[in-house]
Amino acid sequence: MPNFCAAPNCTRKSTQSDLAFFRFPRDPERCRIWVENCRRADLEAKTSDQLNKHYRLCAKHFDPAMVCKTENIC
C-alpha cells in the first residue's frame, strides 16, 4: 500500500518516488507543530497517534540538513 504525502498540493506517493516518507511524530507538541506547518485545518482535530499511524510527509518538505540518515542516533 503506497504512502501519500499529506502536504497541501503535493501529489507524491511512495510507489512513484524514491523519496523518504516520514510519519508524523507521536510526541503531541512536535506533532502539533507539524500540523501547523502543513496548514491543513482538517488535520487539527486528529490525535498525534492517528496522525502517526495514517499520515506521512515526503522528504521534499524538509530541509536536507534536518533529516538524520542514521537510524536510532538522532
Alpha helices in the chain (DSSP H): 28-38, 48-54
* pLDDT tens profile 27-62: 999 999 999 999 999 999 999 999 999 999 999 998
The dihedral sign for the CA sequence 15, 21, 27, 29: negative
Domain boundaries, the chain: 14-66
Query: pTM of the prediction?
Result: 0.81
pLDDT at residue 63 above 90? no
pLDDT at 14: 86
Q: What percent of the chain has pLDDT over 70?
A: 89
